[in-house]
Amino acid sequence: MTDIAHNSASLGVHSLVAGYGKKQVLNGVTLEVASGEIVALIGHNGAGKSTLLKAMFGLIPIWSGQVHLNGQTWSKPTPRDLLRSGVAYVPQGNRVFMDLTVQENLEMGGVTLADKTALSAGMERVFTLFPALKGRFKQQAGTLSGGEKQMLALANALILSPRVLLLDEPSLGLAPPLVSEALGQIQQISSASGVTVLVVEQKVREVLKISQRVFVLRNGQVSFTGSAEELRNETKLREVYL
């Protein structure tokens, strides 16, 4: 498998507080994802998981606290800051440009690349990972299957050769048989290239199979951190999650 990243990176947040309008959602979250690691972020709906990813990527303002990446620190990060530093974000719902072709989606994903040579190289990398997309090159994205849209959403991020991936529920909207396949692709990407991954996922048992560590969010705070192996024990999972 072709490498998709030049190297990996460590990512974290310290005492992060954020929310929407006057509503505070995150209450001083601190966590760290080591270089090359896959870390799962789990918790009930409304716990603040998606809010944390958005704050980390600069999509919503950070009220206080910091985001840090390999020695760089931001209190007010912007998506441009993070993209330039090698961080890619894939939002919920496998969002793609439905009216554009697969080719045009990938061109949009690679719009910040230096030239056409870099774009072509990026496309070759993602087609190595997702050969099914190569056969859909001229097809409108809106006509793809749920699994193919998920591949394209990932490919749009991976075309930039990121060092860090922030993934918000990559299995959302997929048929049950495709969930393990989608998460397996993420594991392959990380193991092949050393990309650091922080993944929010509601399919808890499935995501624990690909993760080294896990953070549980409850009411906007980290209520548990430990190895995924610990939470594969059903009793322990119920204790910290339910």
Tokens of 241: 């999650």
Domains in the chain: ranges and CATH: 11-89+160-241 (3.40.50.300)
Q: Is the pLDDT of residue 242 over 70?
A: no
Report the pLDDT value the prediction gives residue 6, as an integer from 0 to 100.
43
Q: How big is the chain by its Cα radius of gyration, in Å?
A: 17
Residues 46-52 have a mean pLDDT of: 95
CA 236/CA 13 separation, integer angstroms: 26
The pLDDT-based confidence of 211 (bands split at 50, 70, 90) is very high
Better-scored residue on pLDDT, 189 or 220: 220
- What's the rounded Cα separation, in Å, for the pair 78 and 61? 9
Give me the mean pLDDT over the 178-196 stretch: 86
Pairwise pLDDT comparison (169 vs 117), residue with the higher score:
169
Pick the more confident residue, 222 or 182: 222
- Note the pLDDT of residue 198: 97
Q: Across all residues in the chain, what is the average pLDDT?
A: 88
CB 164 within 8 A of CB 69: yes
Q: Which amino acid is at 124?
A: E
How many C-beta atoms lie closer than 10 Å to residue 240's C-beta? 17
Segment of 89-98, 186-195, 222-231 carrying the highest mean pLDDT: 222-231
220 closest CA partner among 65, 39, 44: 44
When pLDDT is cut at 50, 70 and 90, the band that residue 58 belongs to is very high
* Nearest residue to 74 via CA among 165, 166, 9, 12: 12
Residue 4's pLDDT is what?
38
Phi–psi pair at 213, nearest 5 degrees = -135, 170
The confidence score (pLDDT) of residue 2 equals 34
Spatial CB neighbours of 215, under 8 Å, sequence gap ≥ 6: 31, 39, 40, 41, 42, 222, 224, 225
Tokens of 44: 């009930």
Round to whole Å and give the CA distance between 210 and 213: 9
Tokens at 234, concatenated: 């059903």
Kindly report, residue by residue over 78-89, the tens digit of the pLDDT.
998 898 899 999
